[in-house]
Amino acid sequence: MINVYVQSIIGLPTIPGGQPYNVHAFYETLLLSVQSLHSPETPGKLTEVSGYVRMTQDKLEGIRSDFVRKDENWQE
């Protein structure tokens, strides 16, 4: 089951624009996978996919700059 959630994160599509429907669908899929990897049944598995954060952010081309606009420490 863990591999299914990891593959779900890796397989998220690139969202080129900022269309709310597409971003919301991306978010819902990501949220389900992250919550599932963070559950009591899968202890410690979420940390195994922390290296995919940058890759996942890169898939949100249309809104990527919005992530850092309000965060002075965005590089960290």
pLDDT in tens, 1-34: 888 888 999 999 999 888 889 989 999 999 999 9
pLDDT tens figures, 23-63: 899 999 999 999 888 888 877 777 878 888 888 888 888 78
Question: How many domains in the chain?
Answer: 1
What 3-state class would DSSP assign to 57?
helix
What local confidence, expressed as pLDDT, does residue 3 receive? 87
In a domain, 23, yes or no: yes
Euclidean distance between CA atoms 40 and 43, whole angstroms: 6
Instruction: Identify whether the C-beta of residue 2 lies closer than 8 Å to the C-beta of residue 10.
Output: no
- Dihedral of CA atoms 24, 26, 28, 32 in degrees, nearest 10, equals -170
Instruction: Identify whether the C-beta of residue 39 lies closer than 8 Å to the C-beta of residue 5.
Output: no
Instruction: Identify whether the C-beta of residue 6 lies closer than 8 Å to the C-beta of residue 32.
Output: no
In a domain, 74, yes or no: no
Task: Indicate the pTM of the whole model.
Answer: 0.77
In a domain, 73, yes or no: no
Domain that holds residue 38: 2-67
